[in-house]
Structure formats: structure tokens, C-alpha cells
Amino acid sequence: MDKSKLIKTINQKGLRNSLIAIYYNIGRALPFRALRFPDGRISDWYRSLFVEVHVVKPGGKGGKYGYAYGFYFRNGERADATENNPEQSWCKMSDTESLGIPCAACGSWVLLDILGEATAKPTKIYGVNDVLEVGKHKGKTLAEVIRSDWGWVKWAKENAEHIFF
């Protein structure tokens, strides 16, 4: 699968992705890079930083939650997570072991890049003529569902964690 197409498709979920969901959707490829709050809704400061995820330890029901470990980057360079107070940083520029990334299982993450190779099959991206393998309309083509239940297609595009069109 084309990496740029996969990244674009996963990011269609907007700010609903967690690092754990991204990990599964890219076929468990590590490392990968992700950015939180890319729209600047909390602060434009977020637009200059990202994390590079090196380890994921899924947990909770169905592995939906868990922990992600990695490194912090600001303006494309490794950095201390707390700019003005490195002693309080969850990740320091000098760290050699990946550390727990705060809010890894929360939403508001977008995928920037996939650096590693997938170790599992990435999430399926359904085309109009593909037969759905999951969900309420399993066994029907996407075209059939578009004609019969457009509301479900819109809902799935926005809300279903592992269904992509």
C-alpha cells in the first residue's frame, strides 16, 4: 500500500485518533511520527512539536487503550519536552531509552510519517467496488451501501475507528 495514501486516509478521522489506534491502522509499524492538536485549537505552540513512537503496549478491552513510548521533537529536532524547565520534562533531549508519551490513548493525534515497516496487515481502505468485511453492511459493496444507507457511510467515515474509505 502507498504510504502517503495510508497516512492521508488515517488522518481523515480528524482528531479522533489515538497513538494506539494509529499503531494498529498502520499495521503495527514502528517507529512512526505523530502530532497532537495540529489545528492549534489548544495553542499554536503544538504545531511545532511531534513525537516519534518506538514502542506500543496495548491494553484494555480489545487493546484499544495502553501506552506508547518514544521521543519528543520540536521544530524537527530532538528536544526537552518542557522547553523552559527540562528537569520537569517527560522526555529529555539526552534520553537514550524511549519514554512514556502522555495522552497516548487520548484522541487528537494525526499521523505525520511511518518510518518502520508494517509487521501486520495495515487497515483496509475500501473503494467503491470493494465488499465490506465488517460492520452493519458486511458482505455488501460500498457502492450498494452508498445507495441504500448513505447516513451509515457518513457515520462510519467519522466514527468507526477501523473503517476507512
Q: In this predicted structure, what is the pLDDT of residue 1?
A: 66
Banded pLDDT at 158 (limits 50, 70, 90): confident
Torsion of CA 96, 74, 59, 3, to 10 degrees: -100
CB atoms within 10 A of CB 164: 18
The Cα–Cα gap between 141 and 123 comes to: 17
The alpha carbons of the chain give a radius of gyration, in whole angstroms, of 17
What does the block give as the cell for 123? 487497515
What's the pTM? Answer: 0.85
The per-residue pLDDT for range 108-154, each reduced to its tens digit, is 899 999 999 999 999 889 999 999 998 899 999 999 999 999 999 99
Q: In this predicted structure, what is the pLDDT of residue 46?
A: 67
Banded pLDDT at 40 (limits 50, 70, 90): low
The Cα–Cα gap between 74 and 56 comes to: 21
Q: In this predicted structure, what is the pLDDT of residue 42?
A: 61
User: What's the angle, vertex CA 25, arms to CA 54 and CA 157, rounded to 5?
Assistant: 140
Selection from 110, 105, 107 nearest residue 56 by Cα: 105
Of residues 32 and 60, more confidence is placed in 32
Banded pLDDT at 61 (limits 50, 70, 90): confident
**How far out from the chain centre does Cα 86 lie?**
27
Residue 49 has pLDDT above 90, yes or no: no
What does the block give as the cell for 99? 519514554
Q: In this predicted structure, what is the pLDDT of residue 117?
A: 95
Q: In this predicted structure, what is the pLDDT of residue 60?
A: 83
For 40-49, which contacts have Cβ atoms below 8 Å and span 24 or more sequence positions?
A: 48/74, 48/75, 49/73, 49/74, 49/75, 49/79
The per-residue pLDDT for range 66-107, each reduced to its tens digit, is 999 999 998 889 988 887 777 788 888 899 999 999 989 988
In DSSP terms, 78 is beta-bridged to 73
What does the block give as the cell for 121? 496487515
Average pLDDT over residues 23-47: 83
